[in-house]
Amino acid sequence: MIKKFVCFVSSQSMLTVVLLLIVGCAPVISKQVREQVRPDVTFEVVLNDPECYKGQMILLSGVIIETENTKEGTLLQILQCPPGFRGKPKDTDKSEGRFLALDNRYLDTNVFTHGRALTVAGVVQGKRILPLNKTEYAYPLIYVKELYLWPDTRRYDTPSPSVHIGFGVGYSH
């Protein structure tokens, strides 16, 4: 009887682990939207000629530069980054440029803050020219269909107390 119980518990535990792994690897953008994305419509081609790709669904990753709530909705200025695992932006040093994502919902500017990583699926609307420093920049404008804000993993340089094995208590950065 005990042997059967242990076997049952082991198989239940294994099933739980497998389910967690499957869920943990799931894409953050729905299958329905991903199926509408054409692989040949990349950020590079849209950046070069946004008007040519109007109406095309695109999947992009990046880091928020600025968030602004407007009459149209929330306008996110995003630094494009290549996508990594599950579409999460992986390398901000390899950006091909910037884009604007317009979401018709109200997104809180205290949540969608500078430096936060996100993945956006949306429809290319053309371009919008805005000032950038002392010049003007032609931003591809994407109308958001789905958006995923990645959990904030940034480190802040505030000292935090820590306990070390041995003598004393210290602070680390």
Neighbours of 27 (CB within 10 A): 13
Q: What is the pTM of this model?
A: 0.75
The first and second tokens of residue 161, run together, are: 């107390």
- Counted residue by residue, the chain has a size of 173
Share of the chain above pLDDT 90, in %: 65
Q: Token pair of 11, please?
A: 């198989």
Looking at residue 94, what DSSP letter applies?
G
Q: At 27, is the pLDDT very low, low, confident or very high (cuts 50, 70, 90)?
A: confident
Domain ranges for the chain, please list them: 29-149
How far from each other are the two terminal CA atoms of the chain, in whole angstroms? 54
CA 144 to CA 100: how far, in whole Å?
10
∠ CA 67-142-42 to the nearest 5 degrees?
A: 120
29-149: CATH topology is OB fold (Dihydrolipoamide Acetyltransferase, E2P) (2.40.50)
User: Per the structure block, which two tokens stand in for 94?
Assistant: 């390899």
13 or 113, which is more confident? 113
* pLDDT beyond 90 at 49: yes
The residue-averaged pLDDT of 41-67 equals 97
Looking at per-residue pLDDT, the higher value among 119 and 20 belongs to: 119
Q: How far apart are CA 144 and CA 138, in angstroms?
A: 18
Q: What percent of the chain has pLDDT over 70?
A: 74
The answer, yes or no, to whether residue 60 has pLDDT greater than 50, is yes
- DSSP code of 151? P
